[in-house]
Amino acid sequence: MQQLIECVPNFSEGNDLNIIKQITNEIEKIDGVRLLNVDPGKATNRTVVTIVGEPANVVEAVFWAIKKAGELIDMTKHKGEHPRMGATDVCPLIPIANISMKETAEWAQKLARRVGEQLNIPVYLYEAAQPNTERNNLSVIRAGEYEGFFKKIKEPQWKPDFGPAEFDAKRGGTVIGARDFLVAYNINLNTTSTRRANAIAFDVREAGRNVEIDGKKVNQPGTLKSVKAIGWYIEEYGVAQISMNLTNINTTPVHVAFDEVCTKATARGIRVTGSELVGLIPLKAMTDAGKYFLQKQKRSTGVSEKELIKIAIKSMGLDELGPFNPQERIIEYMLANPADSHLVSMTLTDFANETASESPAPGGGSISAYVGALGVSLATMVANLSSHKKGWDDRWEEFSSWAEKGEAFKAKLLQLVDADTAAFNGIMQAFALPKATAEEKAARTQAIQAATRQAIEIPHEVMEAAYNSMEVIKAMVQLGNPNSVTDAGVGALCARAAVMGAFMNVRINAAGYNDKTFIDAIMTRSLDIQNRTIALEAEILKLVDEKIEG
């Protein structure tokens, strides 16, 4: 399985786009690395770059970017709001897929050694890459910043992990490490006061502030765990901000940080006007935020992923300072392969035209999945309508829960629309393989069998998802808004069609697969799903008839 890491180097240049482009050009020269995001900040005079790829490729790309940054950025002339100590200020590696934190830390150490030895830049390790826990905190390492490091680097306890113990006036030093996913997040205030912004930052950050009690200085922790924060004034925007690093968004999600800052700001007579994301954010962080703000309004959370993201953007004012394009800011969207959603991204007309064309795909399997998605979408609609029905205010959470279940089935079935066509194309590609030699024939047969199994399993998944979605459909016939009972009834018809259609695909593809034990087992399960679907559809339609007739 492919190992993937993310790297988010921060370069101390946010104004000269030509310099930034020359640095990112070095990254793009390396095969197997994707440049996901380039986020320059004028007031901070800092650019945050996000790349992803296999570890060796990422490390190679970042090495050359660090080299180029050292050539182009002169730290003797650098001014900016953000703490910094070098041309490449900090460079974290983050495990993304099929790689442990320990392995990621080892890659960070390899990069740090190479930068120190080949580029002669002082390098400090941090977080998981730093074995010495007394110097693994970034803010502690960077304390004193660029101006203070000429003296600090001479202190025995601050000898660099790699590279010379001599501070480079032009390039400065750098910090390289491995850490969990971090969200850099700024919250905008209706004040220009850095002092007041800092007071709010100290209120919420985990480190809190030092206070004097009975003549002794003691630490008073802030209210948010796994949060680092400072206040600053951003001349570019004309407002002060709370600049936050959310180091564990499972502990303190973005929406919780936003709301807590709102509370603390209000207590100090200041209003939060919006917020700003620096770099990328995981999809779940955005959908969780959307659900959180809908729940505060006592509205159903069983809405589409797109709608949840829209609610999150508007609720936190992520578009106050500039456009917020989810396709460019959510990491899963940046990593997604457009081919995986080719069909479901089409308009209804284009999808119908594609189905009607002379191409054999999309065929009955994809259409079955789509019909199933429409069926459970109708039930989800009934759940959402019911959650907002006048006089049913005390039941909104019940229907919200049903709507969320429906959304999950809808998302699964939509994913299977393209998956079924991909499975069919896989069979066609396998049959097109060469068969001139015995080895080629054997490889071709193996490929055909593997593709055929996939073409059996995908429609079977459609059957399972469509049948299971009937739980939501039945519940909405029984419990939902009576004015929409026929919508749920049509959903049952769609679910039955999806199951029956997908079973046809299981059967026809099973005829070409050689593993009879597998075929017997999946055919038994599929026939059982079909029979239960027919019975459940009849039960649901009987309930619909009874509701119509009163």
Secondary structure tally for the chain: helices H, strands E: 17, 13
Burial label for 548, CB within 10 Å (0-12, 13-18, 19+), is exposed
Q: Say how far apart CA 466 and CA 448 lie, in whole Å.
A: 28
Q: Sheet of 272-278: strands edge to edge?
A: 227-234, 239-246, 183-189, 272-278
Q: In which residue are the tokens 């069909």 written?
A: 343
Which two three-digit tokens encode residue 490? 């049509």
CA distances, 524 to each of 369, 398, 459, 529 (Å): 21, 35, 14, 9
Q: Which of 82, 89, 161, 255 does the annotation list as catalytic?
A: 82
User: In the 8-state DSSP scheme, what is residue 281?
Assistant: B
93 beta partners: 7, 178
User: In the 8-state DSSP scheme, what is residue 41?
Assistant: E
Residues of the chain by 3-state class (helix, strand, coil), percent to 5: 55, 15, 25
At 275, phi and psi to the nearest 5? -155, 175
Which two three-digit tokens encode residue 275? 């917020």
User: What's the CA dihedral at 399, 404, 410, 412 to 10 degrees?
Assistant: -150
CA distances, 166 to each of 16, 116, 159, 172, 379 (Å): 28, 11, 9, 9, 68
Could you give the residue ranges of the DSSP H alpha helices within 160-253?
194-204
Q: Is 168 among the residues known to form the active site?
A: no
Could you give the residue ranges of the DSSP H alpha helices within 29-172?
55-72, 101-119, 138-142, 145-152
Q: Work out the number of other CB atoms within 10 angstroms of the CB of residue 363.
A: 15
Contact 262, 281 (CB under 8 A): no
88 beta partners: 11
Contact 369, 502 (CB under 8 A): yes
Contact 187, 231 (CB under 8 A): no
Q: Say how far apart CA 207 and CA 210 lie, in whole Å.
A: 9
User: What's the CA dihedral at 24, 108, 179, 338 to 10 degrees?
Assistant: 50
Q: Is 82 among the residues known to form the active site?
A: yes
Q: In which residue are the tokens 């049952």 written?
A: 492
29 beta partners: none
286, amino acid identity: M
Q: Say how far apart CA 240 and CA 255 lie, in whole Å.
A: 20
Q: Which of 89, 203, 288, 420 does the annotation list as catalytic?
A: 420
What are the catalytic residues? 82, 420
